[in-house]
């Protein structure tokens, strides 16, 4: 029997004196944290509720897919893998280069979305990243001009024109440099390199990369780290 005190708590709702317990139903229940109009966590029927970065969401439980390998699905998975393989070796730089877009998502996810939507080229199953269209840093800061990259003595030398005073670029902006070795899935980068006014920087390359090719990208970040530029692609360089 339910006590009068418990009934009073639930008043004016009707309370049954006899309540049966069904563990299957119990496991389906979610938890409402902010009243009937708030978000909830857990599973209710075919809906799952939760919260990520303070944002409440609901999603349906996935249905069983009879044919999960349609052409469209396979193509999308292949593109996703291509984009992931491109970005993953540069994760540390991406966290800086896409920091302005880490709103309600991670910087890496923002970069993934950009690459998938703007830089994947080719036809199935031979998809690839178009380096000329790819961004590893993205922002409104004035970018590099007349930049070049060459290699000698186990380093890649990057040069650019000092365009301080053009747009919002200033002499103290720092270089964002990355040399990506796609064949190894590795990279070396500098997320706070030489100042824009210096016009050049050497970045050391692992000795075991000698004779291999790297893809080189250059951007800038303000000295206080609050803004970055779109990078420019400097081309393929053979490590010497």
Q: E-assigned strands of the chain?
A: 30-32, 40-44, 47-52, 55-60, 120-121, 128-129, 148-152, 155-159, 174-181, 186-190, 200-204, 213-221, 232-238
Q: What is the mean pLDDT of residues 150-154?
A: 97
Residue 4 has pLDDT above 70, yes or no: no
Lowest mean pLDDT among 1-5, 59-63, 83-87, 126-130: 1-5
Given this model, what pLDDT does residue 8 score?
A: 45
Q: Is the dihedral of CA 30, 33, 34, 38 positive or negative?
A: negative
Q: What is the mean pLDDT of residues 106-123?
A: 97
Written in H, E and C, the secondary structure of 93-155 is: HHHHHCHHHCCCCCHHHHHHHHHHHHCEECCCCCCEECCCCCCCCCCEECCCCCCEEEEECCE
Residue 111 has pLDDT above 60, yes or no: yes
The neighbour count for residue 4, using CB atoms within 10 Å, is 7
Residue 13 has pLDDT above 70, yes or no: no
Cα–Cα distance for residue pair 132/214, rounded to 1 Å: 14
Residue 135's pLDDT band, with cuts at 50, 70 and 90, is very high
DSSP-assigned letter for residue 229: B
Given this model, what pLDDT does residue 41 score?
A: 66
Answer yes or no: are the C-beta atoms of 47 and 59 closer than 8 Å.
yes
Answer yes or no: are the C-beta atoms of 80 and 119 closer than 8 Å.
no
Percent of the chain predicted with pLDDT > 70: 73
Map residue 113 onto helix, strand or coil: helix
For 49-96, the pLDDT digits (tens) are: 776 666 666 666 666 655 567 888 999 999 999 999 999 999 999 999
Given this model, what pLDDT does residue 20 score?
A: 42
Answer yes or no: are the C-beta atoms of 37 and 20 closer than 8 Å.
no
Closest CA to 156 of 210, 195, 85, 86: 210
Percent of the chain predicted with pLDDT > 90: 70
Given this model, what pLDDT does residue 92 score?
A: 97
The domains of the chain are located at 17-60, 71-238
Strands 55-60 and 47-52: antiparallel
Strands 174-181 and 186-190: antiparallel
Cα–Cα distance for residue pair 218/157, rounded to 1 Å: 11
Structural fold of domain 71-238: Immunoglobulin-like (2.60.40)
Lowest mean pLDDT among 25-34, 167-176, 209-218: 25-34
Cα–Cα distance for residue pair 216/127, rounded to 1 Å: 20
Q: Which residues pair with residue 152 across a beta bridge? A: 155
Closest CA to 58 of 38, 86, 78: 38
For 160-187, the pLDDT digits (tens) are: 999 999 999 999 999 999 999 999 999 9
Is the pTM higher than 0.85? The answer reads no
Average pLDDT, the chain: 84
**57-63-66 Cα angle (round to 5):** 150
Given this model, what pLDDT does residue 25 score?
A: 34
Residue corresponding to tokens 């036809």? 123
| Residue that wins the pLDDT comparison between 31 and 181 | 181
């Amino acid at each position: 029997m339910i006590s009068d005190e418990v009934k009073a708590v639930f008043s004016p709702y009707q309370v049954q004196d006899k309540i049966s317990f069904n563990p299957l139903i119990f496991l389906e229940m979610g938890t409402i944290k902010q009243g009937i109009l708030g978000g909830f966590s857990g599973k209710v029927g075919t809906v799952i509720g939760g919260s990520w970065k303070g944002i409440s969401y609901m999603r349906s439980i996935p249905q069983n897919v009879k044919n999960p390998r349609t052409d469209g699905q396979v193509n999308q998975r292949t593109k996703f893998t291509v984009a992931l393989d491109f970005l993953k070796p540069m994760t540390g730089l991406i966290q800086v280069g896409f920091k302005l877009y880490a709103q309600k998502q991670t910087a890496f996810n923002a970069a993934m979305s950009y690459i998938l939507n703007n830089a994947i080229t080719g036809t199935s199953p031979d998809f690839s990243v178009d380096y000329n269209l790819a961004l590893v840093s993205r922002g409104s800061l004035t970018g590099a001009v007349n930049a070049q990259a060459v290699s000698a003595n186990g380093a890649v030398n990057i040069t650019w024109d000092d365009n301080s005073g053009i747009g919002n670029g200033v002499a103290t902006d720092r270089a964002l440099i990355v040399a990506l070795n796609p064949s190894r899935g590795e990279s070396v980068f500098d997320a706070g390199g030489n100042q824009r006014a210096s016009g050049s920087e050497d970045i050391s390359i692992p000795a075991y990369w000698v004779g291999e090719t790297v893809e080189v990208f250059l951007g800038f970040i303000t000295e206080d780290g609050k803004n970055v530029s779109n990078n420019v692609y400097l081309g393929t360089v053979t490590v010497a």
